[in-house]
Amino acid sequence: MTKKTNLYLIIYIVLFFFIWTLYELFIKPIIAINFNEPLGEIIRSIFKILIWFIPCIYLLKKNNNNVYISLDNMFTNKIKWTNYLPLFIFFTIFLVVGSWVQYGNLSIKDTFQPHNLIGSFLLVGITEEMVFRGWLLNSFLTKMSPVLAIVINAFLFLAIHFPIYFYKGVLLEVIISGQFLQILILSIIFSLTFIKSKNLLVPIIFHMYWDLLTILFYT
């Protein structure tokens, strides 16, 4: 990785975290107050595309030769989905059984609304995996060992959740209860599937599947 690419990476991380924190703490609450659903969900999705997806695609194109998997190959490398069936089964059992144990039954939550699928299911998996696996991990892997790249990526992935935890007033609870470990573990899993498959579609699908089950049975 060239010094120029290193600089791009550092500037991106600083600006990305700064801008997203401002959005979560100040802009997102304004949207919630002034716009009813599903319009509010659509507006939030537009902001996420602008802050997460577009800059990420631009930087990947600009640094196409300085990443582990180029943007050209990121969605075209062949996937053997049967290799990932055990992980699908694990996600299903973990979340479905967990919901049954926590609530005493297995049913779609009353709080679920179809518009939740726009931002929390369809968009989250794509945008977050583009940034944290497609761009950040993809860049780290050309600079350091895979283990270190995965660990740093996991802590950055955890840190991007802090603004919303802070806004909701649950940051301390998440840390003390150890709930943050789930984010770290998921990040490691998504990273390993990306490295193994060399195709970003794999962590995107797993991320979306996890979020879908969470939306249906927990929120």
Residue 115: pLDDT over 80? no
Report how far residue 13's alpha carbon sits from residue 86's, in angstroms, rounded to the nearest whole number.
33
Mean pLDDT, residues 112-122 taken together: 79
Contacting residues for 49 by C-beta, under 8 A, at least 6 apart: 123, 127
Tell me: pLDDT of 211 over 70: yes
- Say yes or no to pLDDT of 187 above 70: yes
The total number of structural domains in the chain stands at 1
Rounded CA gap, 203 and 128, in Å?
10
Q: At what angle do helices 201-217 and 85-103 cross, to 10 degrees?
A: 20
Confidence of residue 25 (pLDDT cuts 50, 70, 90): very high
pLDDT one-digit tens code per residue, 129-182: 999 999 999 999 999 999 999 999 999 999 999 999 999 999 999 999 999 999
Q: How far apart are CA 94 and CA 141, in angstroms?
A: 30
Tokens encoding 67: 């990443």
Q: Read off the tokens for 134.
A: 């497609």
Q: Is the pLDDT of residue 2 over 70?
A: no
Percent of the chain whose pLDDT exceeds 70: 99
Domain span at residue 161? 3-217
